[in-house]
């Protein structure tokens, strides 16, 4: 990124310098043009890697400049970002029709603008040579049909626990696309979201583009955030999510997916792509009924019982069903039980600090850490089997 060159075109010199200052602080080289004609004349000095263009300029406006750049073979494929105070839908449509790749409204947040630039530049970069075959990461899907069972809480804490156990960066993806709040639990503040990625690129994107859509956190865990509004959920396609999962599998040792409590087409595709499925339930009759239905459907779809684990999350203080009763009713063992600790979990959510970090010695934290360790050991055993000559041809 350090050598990439960005042209900022704005007739207000103070705005152009402000944008250039943010870019240079992030390692980009910049050139400023005060008009569309000046921008075109400066192309003889070198072709920038990306253009940031204001709309309201005398003479040639930003839309006209965008069209001129798209008509020039030297700049036809270069990313273009419209940066303007005009926020009407008609203006945005006009910008995209002129050939812009992105549209940012002033006043802008520097972090958002830089994230958008990184994504566009990553997409425009030449494709890297295929990586040599090597061990793939493991994808864990956190699922269940009972609302309020704590799937997101478990996902966030598992991500942090696995990052600590492996001393490697982990990614968690919020696939509860209509009501996701995984980023909140990790105090992560996403600039980009899953629906934006899939809408812009579909199922065809370079791995570095996806990396630009991940939000860092304080816990060596990156977050792929859910749509900010339920209205954007239909923009997330099955093919797009499949492409996301396979890309993450090749980039991270652990990928943990938080799913909504439904057997939607999207969830079915995710469950099919996952290596392991954790079904989370609450230890009461409604939770048992929902979990019975979940396992009946998973069994009918042919999922191996060895790849599905049951976690009981005690989210209430009343006397719960015992693990023996649950295991007997479901005809499968309980892999982990998270004890009741209402205040610890509420405080963790409010602060954005997972309990495996805020109170690592609490009974709930210990249960989650032990479960994470068990999952990590299973991955180690899986990797060892993959290397074994006895596994060849199976």
Q: What is the pLDDT along the chain (394 residues), one digit of tens a residue?
A: 457 899 999 999 999 999 999 999 888 999 999 999 999 999 999 999 999 999 999 999 999 999 999 998 889 989 999 999 998 989 999 999 999 999 999 988 888 888 888 888 877 766 443 444 445 899 999 999 998 899 999 999 999 999 999 999 999 999 999 989 999 999 999 988 999 999 888 888 888 889 989 999 989 999 999 999 999 999 999 999 999 999 999 999 999 999 999 999 999 999 999 999 999 999 999 999 999 999 999 998 888 888 999 999 998 888 899 999 999 999 999 999 999 987 888 888 888 889 999 899 999 999 999 999 999 887 665 554 444 444 443 3
Q: In this structure, what token pair is assigned to residue 8?
A: 């900022």
Q: How confident is the model at residue 387, as a pLDDT?
A: 43
- Could you tell me the CATH number of the domain that includes residue 105? 3.40.50.2300
Distance CA 143, CA 155 (A): 10
CA–CA distances in Å: residue 147 to residues 156, 177, 210, 236: 17, 14, 29, 21
Q: How many domains does the chain have?
A: 2
Note the pLDDT of residue 344.
Answer: 83
Would you say residue 310 lies in a domain?
Answer: yes
Contacts with 199 (C-beta within 8 Å, 6 or more apart), sequence order: 235
| Last residue of one domain, picked from the residues 72, 89, 124 | 124
Give the contacts of 332 (CB within 8 A, at least 6 positions apart). 295, 305, 308, 310
For position 126, what pLDDT does the model report? 60
Q: Does 241 share its domain with 306? A: yes
Full residue range of the structural domain in which residue 99 is found: 5-124
Composition of the chain by helix, strand, coil, percent to 5:
50, 15, 35
Q: Which tokens belong to 356? A: 């495996």
Is the domain of 213 the same as that of 108? Answer: no
| CB-side neighbour CA atoms (13 Å) of 171 | 25
48 and 194 share one domain:
no
Smallest Cα–Cα separation from 269: which of 239, 244, 299?
Answer: 239
User: Does one domain contain both 342 and 256?
Assistant: yes
Q: Residue for token digits 């249960």?
A: 367
What phi and psi, each to the nearest 5 degrees, are found at residue 6? -120, 130
**Which residue in this structure is represented by tokens 């493991």?**
138
User: Is 192 found in the same domain as 333?
Assistant: yes
Tokens of 13: 């010199």
The 3-state DSSP class for residue 249 equals helix
Q: What integer pLDDT is reported at residue 382 of this predicted model?
A: 54
Q: How far is residue 314's CA from residue 322's CA, in Å, rounded to a whole number?
A: 11
Task: Output the six-digit token pair for 174.
Answer: 């919020």
240 occurs within a structural domain: yes
Instruction: Give φ, ψ of 176 to 5 degrees.
Output: -80, 75
In a domain, 201, yes or no: yes
- Whether residue 130 is contained in a domain is answered as no
DSSP assignment of 100-123, as one string?
A: -SEEEESS--HHHHHHHHHHHHHH
Q: State the number of CA atoms in the 13 A half-sphere of 256 facing the CB.
A: 27
- Ramachandran assignment for 217, one of left (phi > 0), alpha (psi -120 to 50 degrees), beta (any other): beta
Domain identity same for 116 and 183: no
**Cβ 338 vs Cβ 364: under 8 Å:** yes
CA distance 298 to 330: 13
The structure tokens listed for 246 are: 């396979």
Judgement on whether residues 117 and 165 belong to the same structural domain of the protein: no
């Amino acid at each position: 990124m350090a050598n990439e060159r960005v042209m900022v075109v704005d007739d207000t010199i103070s705005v152009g310098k402000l944008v250039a200052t943010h870019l240079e602080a992030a390692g980009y080289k910049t050139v400023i043009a005060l008009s569309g004609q000046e921008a075109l004349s400066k192309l003889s000095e070198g072709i920038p890697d990306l253009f940031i263009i204001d709309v309201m300029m005398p003479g040639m406006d930003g839309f006209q400049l965008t069209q001129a750049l798209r008509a020039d073979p030297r700049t036809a494929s270069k990313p273009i970002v419209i940066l303007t105070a005009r926020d009407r839908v008609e203006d945005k449509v006009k910008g995209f029709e002129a050939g812009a790749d992105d549209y940012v409204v002033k006043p802008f947040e520097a972090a958002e603008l830089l994230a958008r630039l990184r994504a566009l530049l990553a997409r425009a970069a030449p494709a890297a040579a295929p990586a040599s075959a090597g061990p793939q990461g493991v994808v864990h899907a956190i699922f269940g049909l009972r609302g309020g069972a704590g799937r997101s809480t478990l996902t966030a804490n598992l991500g942090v626990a696995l990052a600590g156990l492996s001393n490697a960066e982990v990614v968690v993806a919020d696939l509860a696309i209509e009501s996701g709040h995984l980023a909140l639990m990790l105090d992560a503040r996403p600039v980009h979201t899953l629906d934006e990625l899939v809408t812009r690129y579909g199922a065809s994107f370079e791995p570095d583009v996806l990396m630009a859509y991940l939000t860092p956190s304080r816990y060596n865990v990156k977050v792929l955030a859910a749509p900010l509004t339920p209205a954007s959920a239909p923009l997330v396609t099955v093919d797009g999510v499949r492409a996301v999962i396979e890309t993450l599998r090749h980039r991270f040792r652990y990928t943990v997916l938080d799913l909504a409590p439904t057997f939607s087409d999207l969830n079915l595709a995710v469950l099919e792509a996952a290596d392991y499925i954790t079904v989370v339930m609450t230890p009461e009759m409604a939770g048992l009924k929902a979990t019975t239905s979940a396992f009946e459907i998973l069994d009918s779809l042919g999922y191996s019982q060895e790849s599905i684990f049951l976690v009981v999350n005690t989210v209430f203080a009343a006397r719960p069903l015992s693990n023996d009763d649950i295991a007997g009713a479901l005809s499968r063992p309980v892999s982990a039980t998270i004890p009741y600790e209402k205040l610890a979990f509420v405080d963790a959510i409010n602060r954005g600090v997972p309990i495996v970090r805020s109170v690592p010695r609490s009974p709930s934290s210990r249960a989650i850490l032990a479960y994470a360790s068990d999952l990590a050991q299973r991955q180690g055993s899986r990797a060892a089997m993959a290397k074994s000559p006895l596994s060849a041809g199976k």
